[in-house]
Amino acid sequence: MTVSQRPKAPAKAKYSLRDTLMSYAFLAPALILLALFTFYPLAYGSYLGFTEYGGARFGQGLPPKWIGLDNFRTLIADPLFLKSMVNSVKYLIIVPVLQLASLAVAVLVNKNLPGMAFFRAAYYVPVVTSISLAAVMWDWIYNKDGTLNWILTNAHLIAKDSTFGWLNNELTAFWAVMLVTFWRGFGYYMVLYLAGLQGIPEELEEAAVLDGANAWKRFWSITVPLMKPTILLCSLLSTIAALRVLEEVLVLTNGGPLNSTYTALMYVYSKAFQGFNFDYGLASAAGLVVAAVALLLSIINFRVFRDDTGGGK
């Protein structure tokens, strides 16, 4: 269907006052909850980014003190914050890899073959595995005497006396943690893609087969265009998740070695919630910087994966 063949949008429906009121009444509870738990914290957090709040002020019950851009100046001057931002942006490398892999596997498990339900469930298991359990397991894998080194030494890829702890090495820790993020996120995006794939009308595929299109051609001409909204959603979610990565880092490396895995959210967390020297003002300012980067990347995502087919309109 070309753009010119698109059916005309239906004339604007007229709603009665009762219908209108009813609609808003149904929306109101969700809106109130959003206002309380999302919009208000967002607005207040943004305000705190420009204040001094925490430490002794908090203990004495004093309100936040407006200090303008001072927190942002502190952030720029703090090498740990800059390093954490660089690490977080570097962490975005995972996004395309994660998306491609989960889309590819979603295509594979979308087949109606015997036992496919098992594979769909198996790939989803890491998503529901607790991070503490995952940490113990990956610690066994990455340890100096762990599974990964055992495999590599038995495959003669590294010498027995050259083994090292993958999470203890400045050059490998970052990638090792990223692999855990990949492992944890993969099943989640695969399920989203699977849902998207199952929403593609079978007739289109059948018509393409009759027209003699091979599998690759069908994938690029039918699947990918119709999956654009799902790709955009997954890409957005994984971009934001990559910028907000915290749990894996905390439990596996605590930001080390040499702060090579210290991420921006870890900086925010440590300033806001560790010890009694908490600095909500500085943490909020750092959070605002992360949010600004996330917003920028979201705009890029929208531009790249814009749904040109009209399906999303």
Partner 1 sequence: MKTKTAARLLTLGLSLALGTAAAQSPVEVQFWTWYLSPKFDGYIKDTITAFEKANPNITVKWFDKQDTMVQDFISSVNMGSAPDVVNLNIDETSKAAQNSFLKPVDTLTPMSTLKSVYYPQTLANFTIGGKVYGYPWYGSLNEGVLLYNPDLMAKAGVKAPRNMTELLSMVKTIKDKTGAYAWVPALKDPGGASFLGYFFSDGLPIYDASGKAAFNGAAHVALLQKYVDLFKGGYFPEDALRKEAFQLATELYAQNKVAMIVGGPQALNRIKDTNPSLYAKTVVTTAPLGKAQVQTGTSMGLVIPNASKHPAEAAKLAAFFTNNANQIAFAKIVPIVPTTAAAKNDAYFKKVSTDPIAKATSLVGASGQYINPGFKAPGNSDDLYKNFSDNIEAALLGKKTPKAALDDSVTYWNANMKK
Footprint of partner 1 on this chain (CB under 8 A)? Answer: 55-56, 58-60, 143-144, 164-165, 167-168, 170, 253-254, 256-259, 270, 273-278
Other CB atoms within a 10 A radius of the CB of residue 186 amount to 19
37 versus 273: smaller Cβ distance to partner 1 = 273
Which residue, 106 or 249, has its beta carbon nearer to partner 1?
249
The vertex-240 CA angle with 237 and 243, nearest 5°, equals 145
Residue closer to partner 1, measured from CB, 161 or 202: 161
Tokens for 310? 């009209």
Is the dihedral angle over the CA atoms 164, 170, 172, 178 positive or is it negative?
positive
**Least distance (Å) from partner 1 to the CB of residue 130?**
14
Say how many C-beta atoms besides its own lie within 10 A of residue 35's C-beta: 11
Shortest Å, Cβ 158 to partner 1: 15
Which CB atom, from 2 or from 60, has the smaller least distance to partner 1? 60
Local structure of 10: helix, strand or coil: coil
| 110 versus 163: smaller Cβ distance to partner 1 | 163
The separation between CA 199 and the C-alpha centre of its own chain, rounded to angstroms, equals 23
CB of 253 to partner 1, least distance (A): 6
221 vs 254 by CB, closer to partner 1: 254
Q: Cβ of residue 203: shortest distance to partner 1, in angstroms?
A: 54
CA distance 47 to 299: 24
Angle at which helix 79-90 crosses helix 280-304, to 10 degrees, equals 30
How many CA atoms lie within 13 Å of 235's alpha carbon, on the beta-carbon side? 18
Least Å distance, CB 163 to partner 1, is 10
Residue whose structure tokens are 């087919």: 309
Of the two residues 87 and 143, which places its CB atom closer to partner 1 in the complex?
143
Least distance from partner 1 to the Cβ atom of residue 39, Å: 20
CB of 257 to partner 1, least distance (A): 6
279: helix, coil or strand?
strand
Element holding 52 (H helix, E strand): strand 51-52
